[in-house]
Structure 1
Amino acid sequence: MRKKIILAVLAVIVVLSGLMAYWFYFSKPAKFPTNEQLMKQMNEVFPAAAAETIQDTVTIDERHKVVPFITKENRYGISYWVWSKHKWKSVYIDDSGEPRLWKINRKDASSYHLVWNIHPNDGVSTVKFYLMKDRNYLFQGGEHFYFPKIQLEQAVSLENKSYGVMGLPKDWVTVVDSLGKIEAARRADLWFQSLFPARDLFFGWLPLNGENEETFPENSVNGQSYSDGDEIIDFVPFVNKSELE
């Protein structure tokens, strides 16, 4: 009888532990914090942000949100929020709004999102985002191999608001996933590794003014940032018109 009681108690403990773990890690997110609560948390973990005005809350999914803000020094920044361990957490804060690539799931390109908040004083009316890969040529085993250039473009207007969040277009997702499979095969096979050079696919952005001329957004770069280290939020480099075809 004593043995049965012990087993029953252990079973209850296991079930309760499972329920607690589910509640802690997988429960439905609570209501998103108010603007005042957001600024308080941001300024506590990253005082240099000096957030003063919340512009908006952009929902990516129920567990991931982006909050553009303006600082006391009139800088336009971005904060990234995740529902994790039963609370809303600011995982990345940047007091400059130059574009970043948020890879919510590094293995799934459809989860990637470009995020930006360009200062109005920079006079940028359009941002063109690019997915690019340089062309390549290889002669091996008496055969010629040619790898064409990839250049995909997506233009975004800043006429109505300074900030935005954009998931990758479907054709971009297809390209990223396809090259990811090639890269995986390259690493696994020595012949494939020598035939296909390392993947040099990259994202970029080109800021344009009202006359469709390339411009430098000096108020939207070279800021300070905070990261908790858990999320993949990549820098997106400039693309010059001279690099385009």
Structure 2
Amino acid sequence: EYKTIPLHVDVNIVSNDILDLDKFKNFRPDFANAEFVLENGKYICGSEVEKMSKSKFNVVNPDDIIESYGADTLRLYEMFLGPLEQAKPWNTNGIEGVYKFLRKVWRLFHDTEGYFNVSNDEPSKAEFKALHKIIKKVEDDIERFSFNTSVSAFMICVNELTDLKCNKRQILEQLVVILQPYAPHITEELWALLGNEAGTLSYASYPVFKPEYLVESEFAYPVSFNGKMKFNLSLALDLDQKAVEDIIKEHVEVQRHLDGKAIKKIIFVKGKIINIVI
């Protein structure tokens, strides 16, 4: 066991909780010959919730972060740390994640070669759903000054649109408007790329939330045989018992699991389960 004492260290030489030992020895020459207990070759620092103070060496120059990551990343990251009214430790563990998020936003508007590429095609139901979820979420969060949960929701939304390979103008133009208060610089640039060069994004109307886009029209039913779940089957939610039974009896996966056995009964609960008794 080692005897330890708490020691304040300059947060500017700590990255993702890992202390830069060479910079620390310059920072504290009296520890230049000290033996450091490492974890997998790294010295891991703890953290405290405390106000920024020169005496505690936890003052961070925002210009340094802006130089490395940009003003939008710093702005988003400060919101992402947690509720504004609560004290929290300053650490940069998540700043890389916020920076990567903004790069992912940029890529939605560009092809793999880096060229601006936005389509005027009609968006799919899934794309409209992703957009209107974030419209509703941000609208509610701004009323409560709950900015950190909005940033999380933006990340989910952008991941969904990335998976959908969405580059539809109807979706991305509205996404830019919603994101503008959180990341004003990148959104202004994207707004101009979208052809809105006449005026600033600050005067654009906030998108109107349409709840019909969040109404589920399909459900992935877990299909069970004698109570044992075998696979999921996506069906329209407006189908009745007779229509579902007809689909089930003809479905290739059902026939495979039946393996020649007869169906005694099909238990169907709309929006919940399908159980086939054999």
Q: One fold, TM greater than 0.5?
A: no
Q: By percentage of residues, which structure has more strand? A: 1
Larger Rg belongs to = 2
Name the structure with the higher helix share: 2
Q: Compute the TM-score of the two structures, normalised by the length of structure 2.
A: 0.26
TM-score by length of 1: 0.28
User: Higher relative CO (CA 8 A, sep ≥ 6), structure 1 or 2?
Assistant: 1
